[in-house]
Structure 1
Amino acid sequence: MEKTEKKKKFQLPHIYVILFIFSALAAVATYIVPAGEFDRVPGPDGRETVDPESFTQIASSPVGFVDFLTIIPRGLIEAGEIIFFTFMIGGMFMVLKKTGIIEIVVDRLANRFANKSILIIPVLTTVFAFVATLIGTPELTLVYIPVILPLMIALGYDSIVAAAVALIGSVVGFTAGVLNPVNVGLSQQIVGVPLFSGIGFRVTIFVLTVVVASLFIMRYAKKIKDNPLNSYVYEEDAEKRKLYQHQDKLEVRTMTAKQKYASLAALLFMGILVYGVLNHGWFMVEMAGLFIFMGIVVGLIAGLNSTEISEGFTEGFRDVLMGAIIMGLARGVSVALEDGHIMDTIVYSLGSVVGDFPAVFGAVGMYLVQLVINFIIPSGSGQALVTMPIMGPLADIIGVTRQTAVLAFQLGDGFAHILYPTSGYFMAALAIAGVSWQKWIKFFLPLFFIFSGIGIIALIIAQSIQWTG
C-alpha cells in the first residue's frame, strides 16, 4: 500500500490572531525600547506638530498586564468614529437593498455593460483616483464598495474586483496627491515648500500608477470571467452570485412609482454628501448621521414600514460587525505604543538612521522609514505632523531636496494604507466587501511591490535632477 502524505498549505492565522500578536509585540516593545517624546508645537491650520529639536528620553512606562487587558476595549473606543461610520453604511445599504432599488439598477447596468464589462474597471478606477487626488478622502471607499459590489458580481466578477477598484483607485489618487490637501498640502506647509508646487511630476506618477492599477485589476478580472473558479473568494461569494447573477439578462424589471421617487431621494442625499464634504469639511460623524436619515427617508418613500427599516439596519450592522472588531484590535497596537511612550522614540530612531545614507539612497531611505511608520501611524495627516518636522531639516543635512522628502512621505504613507491591517478604513472596506485580509494580501501584494518599484525609481529620478518643483 502506498501512503500519500498531503502537504498542508501554509495559511495565515485568523486576522484576530494576527492583530492580537501585533498588540502583544507592541506591549513587549515598551519594556525594551527607551521611552521618549517630542514637544508638541502649533502647526499648520492650528494642528499640533512636533518640534524636531526637542526629543528627550523620559522615564520608562512599560505596559503592564492590567493595561494590556484594556488595550482592545480602548482601541474600540478610540476607533469609535470609523466603527460607527461603518455600521451606518452597512445598515443604510441593507435598507436600500430591501427596497429593491439596488437590484433593478444593477440589472440595468449589467445589461448595458454585458458585452464590454471589462471597460468599467479602468473607468471607475480612474474616477475614484481622480476624486481622491483632489480632496484626499480615501475613506469614501466605504461608500463606493456597497454601490459597485452588486454590479461587479452581476457582471461575472467577484468581491475582490469590487474592493480593488474602489480601494486601489482611491489609494493611487491619494498617494499621487496632485492637489491632495491631506498629504501633499499639509506636508509641504510643514517643511516650507510652496503649496502644491511640483504638480507636473505628481501628475506623471498619477497617470502611471492609475494605468498600472487598472491593468492589474483587469488581468485578475479576466481570469475570473474566463473561469469563476479562479476567484480567490469563489466560495465566499456564493450567496452574492445567487442574489445578483442571473442567466437571463433580457428581462429587465421596471421600477414602481415609489421606487422611482426613492431613487431620486437617494441621489439627492448623495448630492448633499458631496456638498458637505467639499464645502463644510464633513467627515465620518457627519456622513454617518446623513446615512441614518438617508436609510429612513428612502425606505419610507419606497414603501417599507418602520419595522422593515429597523430590521434592515440590524442586518446591515451584523454584516460589518467583524470589521468593527478588527478596527478595535488594529487600534490596540497604537494604544500600546502610546501608553509606553515609545512611538516618538521609534520615529526619532528611524529618522536618525536615514541621516547616515548618501543623498540618493537617503531619499529611498526616507521612503522606507515612512513605510515602516505607516504601520503604527496609519493616518496620512497624523503621520505628516509627526514625521515631516523631522524629515524636512534632515533632508537639508543629507542633501535631499525638501520636495523629494515630501514625495518620500507620500509614497511611504500612501500605498501601505491598503496593506497594513492597522489601517482602520481599509479593514472596514474589506469587511463591507466580504473579503478577508488574508485573501486581499494574496491578491494585492504583487501590485504593492510594483508600486514600490515605481516609487523608488521616482525618488531616484527626483533626487538626481534635484527636484524642487
Structure 2
Amino acid sequence: MTKPTPSNSPTGAQDSKRSHWQIPHIYVILFVFIAMAAVATYFVPAGQYERVPGPEGRTTIDAESFQYVEQNPTSLVDFMLAIPNGLMSAGEVVFFTFMIGGMFMVLRRTGIIEIGVDKLSRRFANRSLLMIPVLMTVFALVATIIGTQELALVYVPVILPLMIALRFDSVTAAAVALCATTAGFASGVLNPINTGLGQQLSDLPLYSGFGLRAAAFAIILGAAIYFVMRYARQVRDNPELSLMAGDETEEEKRSLYQHATDEGALTANGRQKLAAVATFAFFGLLVYGVLRQGWFMMEMAGLFIIMGIVVGLIAGLSTTAISEAFNKGFRDVLVGAMIAGVARGVAVVLEDGQIMDTLVMGLGSLVGELPTMLSAIGMYFAQLAFNFVVPSGSGQALVTMPIMAPLSDLIGVTRQTAVLAFQLGDGMGNILYPTSGYFMATLAIAGVPWQKWVKFFFPLFCLWVAIAIGFLAFAQATQWAG
C-alpha cells in the first residue's frame, strides 16, 4: 500500500501550494501591467505618427509619417501618477458606473424590481432556459446594428434579479449580456463603430460584405448561446457547480430573489404601478437618445440621475431614502469603477512614454513578414493584442486601420478581409482583458470577480478564436472582397 505523503514533506508542501494557488487580485494584475508598461518605455524606441483629420471629424494617423523621436521613459513621478491619471482619463466610465449603480439601488428600494422579477419568474418557471437565447439574440442584434457594446452595463442590472430568481447565478446574467453584445459587436453586420469606421478608413463601400458578416454573426452568437445555456442548466440543476458557490453576496441575492418567489405572489400598490410606468418611459427615452441623438455614457448617466429621483419620488420614497439608496448603489459598484480607472493607467504610461505608436508600427511590420496564407490570421492576432491597450473600437480603428489597409494591399490580403480581422480582434478581447473599462464595470455591477469570469469565459473565447481563424482563412483563400 502506498504510504501517504506527510503534509510537512517537500512534496506535500508543493501539493498544498498548488491546491491553494489562485489568480491574484485584479488590482495586483493591473499594477503589474502598469509596471511592465513603464519598464517597456526604457527599452522600446519612442516613435509617433502624425495625426490628421479622419472621417466624421475624428483624428486618425498618417500611415506614412512614422518617425522615431527622443526617448521619454517613465519617471518615478510619472509611474506614481499613472493610476490617478488613468482614473481621470477614464472618468466617463467611472462616473457612468457610479450613476447606474445608484439608480438601480433606488429602483430596488421602490420594490418594483422585485415585483417584476416575481411575475416573470413565475411565468417562465417551467421554461426558464428559453429566456437565455431570447435575451441574447435581442442584445446581439442591437449591438450588431448600432454598435453599443457598452449597453451591457444597462442590461445586467435589469436581468440579474430575474436570472437569480430563475435559479441561475450572477455569472449567467453577466454572460447573457456580455457574450451577446460582444458577438453582435465583433461580427458587426451594420455596426457603425467598427465596420462602418473601418471601411471608411479603408476606402471600402459602407457596410459591404454583409453576407459573410451575417454568417459570422450567426455562428459566433450560436456558439455563445450554447455555451451559456449549458452552464446555466448545470447551475440550475446543481447550484454547487456555480462559479459563485459560497460567495456571501451571491447568497444574499439568492435569499432576496428566490425566497420572495417561494413565499407567494407579490402585488404592486398604486404608487408602485405609476413608478413602473415611469421607469419604462425613461428606458424608452434612453433608447431614443442612443439611437437618434447619439447619446453615450455621460448622457445616459445624467438620465439615470433624474430617473432615480423621479421614480423614487413617485413610488413614495423620501428624499433621504433616495439619497441613501444612491449611496448604497455607489458603494456596491465602487470596486468596478476603480478598476475601470486603474486599467486605463496601462495606456496612459504607453502614451506618455511615446511607445504606443511604435508598438502599432511593430505589429504591422510583424504581420507583413508572415506567409501570405497566414497574413489575415496574423492581422487578427495583431488586432487582438493591440486591443489590450486600446479597448475602444473606434480608437483602435483610427490607429490601426490606416496602417493595416495599405499593408493588406502589399501582402495579398483584401481590404475587406483586413477590416474583418480588425472587427473580430477588437471585439472578442473586450470581455477578457481587465483593461476594458466598461467590461470591468459590468462585472462589478453583476458582482462577479474578474478571476471567476475568466474561468467561465476562457473556453468560449478559445472557441471564438477558432471560429475567427476559420472565417479569415476562408476570406483569404477566396480573396473575399465583399
Q: TM-score scaled by structure 1?
A: 0.99
How many aligned positions are there? 469
Shift of 1:7: 2.4
SS of 1:30 mapped into structure 2 = helix
What is the aligned counterpart of 2:193 among 178, 182, 194?
182
Structure-2 residue corresponding to 1:7: 16
| Paired amino acid for 1:436 | P
What is the aligned counterpart of 1:232 among 243, 252, 257?
243
Structure-2 residue corresponding to 1:275: 288
What is the aligned counterpart of 1:445 among 441, 458, 463?
458
Shift of 1:250: 7.3
Structure-1 residue corresponding to 2:155: 144
- Mapping 1:345-384, distance limit 5 Å: 345-384=358-397
What is the aligned counterpart of 1:403 among 409, 416, 420?
416
Shift of 1:327: 1.1
Question: Does residue 1:241 correspond to 2:258, yes or no?
Answer: no
Structure 1: unaligned runs, 5 residues or longer? none
CA distance in 2, matches of 1:257, 1:403: 56
Question: Does residue 1:28 correspond to 2:39, yes or no?
Answer: yes
Structure-1 residue corresponding to 2:219: 208
CA distance in 2, matches of 1:247, 1:297: 26
Label 1:406 to 1:248 Cα distance change in 2 as closer, same or farther (>3 A): closer
CA distance in 2, matches of 1:204, 1:51: 33
- RMSD of equivalent CA atoms: 1.0
SS of 2:52 mapped into structure 1 = strand
SS of 2:125 mapped into structure 1 = coil
Query: For the Cα contact (< 8 Å) 1:107–1:249, is it kept in 2?
Result: no
Question: Does residue 1:194 correspond to 2:227, yes or no?
Answer: no
CA distance in 2, matches of 1:34, 1:425: 31
Shift of 1:246: 2.4
| Paired amino acid for 2:225 | S
Label 1:320 to 1:247 Cα distance change in 2 as closer, same or farther (>3 A): closer
Structure-2 residue corresponding to 1:266: 279
What is the aligned counterpart of 1:130 among 101, 123, 141?
141
Structure-2 residue corresponding to 1:310: 323
CA distance in 2, matches of 1:364, 1:186: 21
Question: Does residue 1:344 correspond to 2:353, yes or no?
Answer: no
Shift of 1:247: 7.5
Query: For the Cα contact (< 8 Å) 2:118–2:260, is it kept in 1?
Result: no
Query: For the Cα contact (< 8 Å) 2:74–2:353, is it kept in 1?
Result: yes
Q: Provide the identity percentage.
A: 62
CA distance in 2, matches of 1:393, 1:98: 56
- Structure 1 range deviating more: 29-38 or 324-333: 324-333
CA distance in 2, matches of 1:412, 1:142: 21
| Paired amino acid for 1:313 | F
Query: For the Cα contact (< 8 Å) 2:169–2:244, is it kept in 1?
Result: yes
Query: For the Cα contact (< 8 Å) 2:274–2:315, is it kept in 1?
Result: yes
Structure 2: unaligned runs, 5 residues or longer? none
Structure-2 residue corresponding to 1:462: 475
Structure-2 residue corresponding to 1:323: 336
| Paired amino acid for 2:376 | A
Cα deviation code 1:329-367 (max 9, x no counterpart): 100000000110000000001100111122220000000
| Paired amino acid for 2:62 | D
CA distance in 2, matches of 1:437, 1:81: 21
Query: For the Cα contact (< 8 Å) 1:360–1:463, is it kept in 2?
Result: yes
Cα deviation code 1:423-459 (max 9, x no counterpart): 0000000000000110000000000000000000000
CA distance in 2, matches of 1:24, 1:325: 18
CA distance in 1, matches of 2:86, 2:392: 15
Query: For the Cα contact (< 8 Å) 2:336–2:441, is it kept in 1?
Result: yes
Structure-1 residue corresponding to 2:79: 68
CA distance in 2, matches of 1:249, 1:25: 51
Cα deviation code 1:274-308 (max 9, x no counterpart): 00111110000100000000000000000000000
Query: For the Cα contact (< 8 Å) 2:105–2:326, is it kept in 1?
Result: yes
